[in-house]
Amino acid sequence: MNEPLVIAIDGPAGAGKSTVAQMLAARLGLTYVDSGATYRAAALKVLEAAVNPLDEPAVTRLIGATEVRVTTGDGDPEPHVFVDGNDVTARLRTPEVTLAAAQVSRLPEVRAKLIEMQRTFARGRGVVMEGRDIGTVVFPRAQLKIFLKADVEERARRRLKQDARDGRDATLQRTAYEIGRRDQLDAERKISPLKPASDAVEIDSTNLLADQVVEQILTIARIRQLM
């Protein structure tokens, strides 16, 4: 193939995108990129600067002067996110940052800046990138597009386990509410709403293990002669 392989994996929070994308990238020898990390980094910057996430002019000015960098590859299973040179990876998964990320991601100028940044990660190399608009906006010409979904309760249980591993206190009810709220914000935003690309393959991961989802995607890739 003349162009590097780009696999886009989209879907709502808790559908298993990160785990599946990382496993898939490792199997195929591609770079894993979490696009949501760039929005979370922007949200963290906004919160720490005490700027209203819904104040578009103020947020745009702030993010326009902010450097966001995501390290990928080099054998590290987890990407590290840097804001103005500082590693903020451990601070990106709080409920406050999650909500603010959904809010700032609705702002057109902020999205434009971060989408262009995300596209640079695929220059000259193959990537598996996961997010909410990878197949529809960031890489509309990706060779393979997957839309991963799961029931809200199952997604909440998964997120609760992740929070426990990271040492954050949460309840299933609260987590389910936050995921539902995020779903609503993502689906209703005017710019790049969460939806499957017209040519995406939809996979319901509710009753599947991550490796089973990966095997399904690899089968699709083989059938399309992408590997």
Strand ranges, E, within 109-214:
127-131, 144-149, 201-204
In angstroms, the CA 89 to CA 8 distance is: 22
- Whether 164 maps to a domain, the answer reads yes
Q: How confident is the model at residue 102 (pLDDT cuts 50, 70, 90)?
A: confident
| Residue 75: band (very low, low, confident or very high) from pLDDT cuts 50, 70, 90 | low
Which residue in 154, 137, 169, 130 sits closest to 208, CA to CA?
Answer: 154
Q: How many CB atoms lie within 10 A of CB 99?
A: 17
| CATH number of the domain encompassing residue 170 | 3.40.50.300
Question: Is 216 contained in some domain?
Answer: yes
Q: Name the residue type at position 4.
A: P
As a whole number of angstroms, the distance between CA 197 and CA 182 comes to 19
Which one, of 174, 203, 167, lies nearest residue 16 by Cα? 203
Identify the band that residue 76 occupies on the pLDDT scale cut at 50, 70 and 90.
Answer: low
Is 227 within the bounds of a domain?
A: no
Collapsed DSSP state (helix, strand, coil) of residue 84: coil
In whole angstroms, give the CA distance from residue 148 to residue 201. Answer: 8
Please state the rounded mean pLDDT for residues 122-141. 91
Nearest to 33, CA basis, from 128, 108, 134: 128
Domain count, the chain: 1
Whether residue 218 is predicted with pLDDT greater than 90 in this model: the reply is yes
Residue 118 pLDDT: 87
Q: What pLDDT is attached to residue 74? A: 52
Sequence-separated (6 or more) residues with CB below 8 Å from residue 190: 106
Which of the 8 DSSP states describes residue 71? E
* Residue 193 DSSP one-character state: -
Higher pLDDT, 220 or 165: 220
Residue 16 lies in a domain: yes
Question: Of the segments 21-25, 63-67, 114-118, 170-174, which one has the largest average pLDDT value?
Answer: 21-25
- Domain carrying residue 152: 6-220
Q: Give the pLDDT band of residue 222 (cuts 50, 70, 90).
A: very high
Mean pLDDT of 65-76: 72
Maximum average pLDDT range among 32-36, 47-51, 96-100: 47-51
Count CB-CB contacts under 10 A for residue 75: 5
Distance (Å, whole) CA 101 – CA 40 = 5
Residue 180 inside a domain? The answer is: yes
pLDDT in tens, 148-162: 999 998 999 888 887
Give a yes or no: residue 74 inside a domain. Answer: yes
Q: What is the mean pLDDT of residues 100-104?
A: 89
Position 162 in a domain: yes
Share of the chain above pLDDT 70, in %: 96
In this predicted structure, what is the pLDDT of residue 70?
Answer: 79
Cβ-contact 107, 53 below 8 angstroms: no
